[in-house]
Amino acid sequence: MTIRDDHALAGDLASEAGERLLDLRARQGFGDQRALKDAGDMMSHRYLMDALQRLRPSDSVLSEEATREERMDPRRLKADRVWIVDPLDGTREFSEEGRSDWAVHVALWERTGDEGALTAGAVALPAQGRTLTTAKPPTLAAPGERIRIAVSRTRPPEFVRKLAVLAGADLVPIGSAGAKIAAVLTGEVEAYVHAGGQYEWDSAAPVAVALAAGAHASRIDGTPLVYNQEDPSLPDILVCLPDLAPMLLAGIRDLHR
């Protein structure tokens, strides 16, 4: 792989990792789902770590599949450039035959003064045959007649059910966080709300693409999403079409009073 700008590199890495995961899925099959999950996580992690070490050797990396010691490396917190990756977002869906709602996340966080921000990112949806990137952000669709909110297939927060009633919205179960946020960007839903616990790698890349596309992305109390923290926990998130943000944030505030 030749040297690319950060936006193109994020897209290339996410897409290539996704192709390798598709090949693994085809070779290994679905007979042992646990083995397939573990193999997918490790293969994609090693590919991304090796590629970033080769192509961006002076940058730090925060990966879901890194060891605790690697995640807590103090050099990451002092670094000016940190890649935040989820080698396989949605291992459950990856291990289930026929499901396409899993993803690969590659994002770049850069320091600006004492602060920092996501500056590049890509979300590969390999089984859907597409990669969303900050190099060419998707064009947001207009809201539908009824709001559709993407939620977890297995553990949608109870308050989101109440929010849907309040907003006259329908809930749409989708697998991985990346697939949910991608659904906002491609017009399949208008919003994604989550408050059941996540980490930086679950949202960094899709949030980078969402912000580049002009979508709203924040914590559910409206405060900014902050990345490259010592504790990578980032427990809640709202991503939605920008015109819906005031109404959804107000509804969430009302439900938490």
Do 202 and 162 lie in one domain? The reply is yes
19 annotated binding-site participant:
no
State whether 222 and 126 are in the same domain: no
Average pLDDT over residues 206-218: 98
Structure confidence at residue 155 (pLDDT): 74
| More confident position, 4 or 58 | 58
**Global pTM?**
0.94
Is 64 part of any known ligand binding site? yes
- Confirm whether residue 140 is marked as ligand binding: no
Average pLDDT over the chain reads 94
How do residues 183-196 score in pLDDT, each as one tens digit? Answer: 999 999 999 999 88
Mean pLDDT for the stretch of residues 122-138: 97
Number of domains the chain contains? 2
| 163 plus 92 within the same structural domain | no
Query: Region 58-78: what's the mean pLDDT?
Result: 89
The SS3 call for residue 38 is helix
What are the tens digits of pLDDT across the range 28-65? 999 999 999 999 999 999 999 999 999 999 999 999 99
Do residues 97 and 10 both lie within one domain? yes
pLDDT for 1: 39
For residue 24, the domain's CATH number is: 3.30.540.10
Cα(72)–Cα(161) distance, rounded to whole angstroms? 36
Instruction: Answer yes or no: do 116 and 185 share one domain.
Output: no
170 and 127, same domain (yes or no): no
Select from 133, 158, 175 the last residue of a domain.
133
Task: Let me know whether 73 and 124 are in one domain.
Answer: yes
Within a domain: 242:
yes
For 153-170, give the DSSP string. Answer: SS---HHHHHHHHHHT-E
Inter-CA distances, 119 with 101, 156, 172, 251, Å: 25, 30, 29, 30
Q: Residue 49's CB: how many other CB atoms inside 10 A? A: 18
Q: How confident is the model at residue 4 (pLDDT cuts 50, 70, 90)?
A: low
Query: Is the predicted pLDDT of residue 103 greater than 80, yes or no?
Result: yes
pLDDT (average), residues 147-151:
95
Q: Structural domain of residue 218, as residue ranges?
A: 148-255
